[in-house]
Amino acid sequence: MMLEWENGLKLAGKSDTISETDNGLEVADERFQEYIAAIVKLEYIIQPPLTQGDELFRWLQQDELFETSLYSDIPKIISLEDGTVIWRQSEPR
């Protein structure tokens, strides 16, 4: 799969695990959120971010696992290697 962020970062990886998780707050807390997260094995970096200081990019290493989700550091587009878009962010955050 290919993942692309708003800042220009583009990665190629393989999905390892997809699971439901939460933001660590108590269920009774009004800020509590559940969301889907994916663990991805980085195959290679297609393009580094266009801006300096990107938190995710600083610790990415080839063949390492990283988490991406719809909670924070949300990809703009997730697609298959053939270009088929499987998810697209509807509104930039």
Using one digit for the tens of pLDDT, what is the confidence trace for 41-66?
999 999 988 877 666 677 788 889 98
Buried b (16+ CB within 10 A) or exposed e, 48-69: ebeeeebebbeeeeeeeebbbb
Domain assignment of residue 41, given as a range: 2-88
Residue 67 inside a domain? The answer is yes
Please count the structural domains in the chain: 1
**Rg of the Cα atoms in the chain:** 14
Q: Does 10 have pLDDT greater than 60?
A: yes
Residue 50 inside a domain? The answer is yes
Q: What is the pLDDT of residue 59?
A: 74
Residue 25 inside a domain? The answer is yes
Is residue 83 within 8 A of residue 89, CB to CB? The reply is no
Residue 23 inside a domain? The answer is yes
State the pTM of this model. Answer: 0.77
Average pLDDT, the chain: 87
Residue 93 inside a domain? The answer is no
Residue 8 inside a domain? The answer is yes
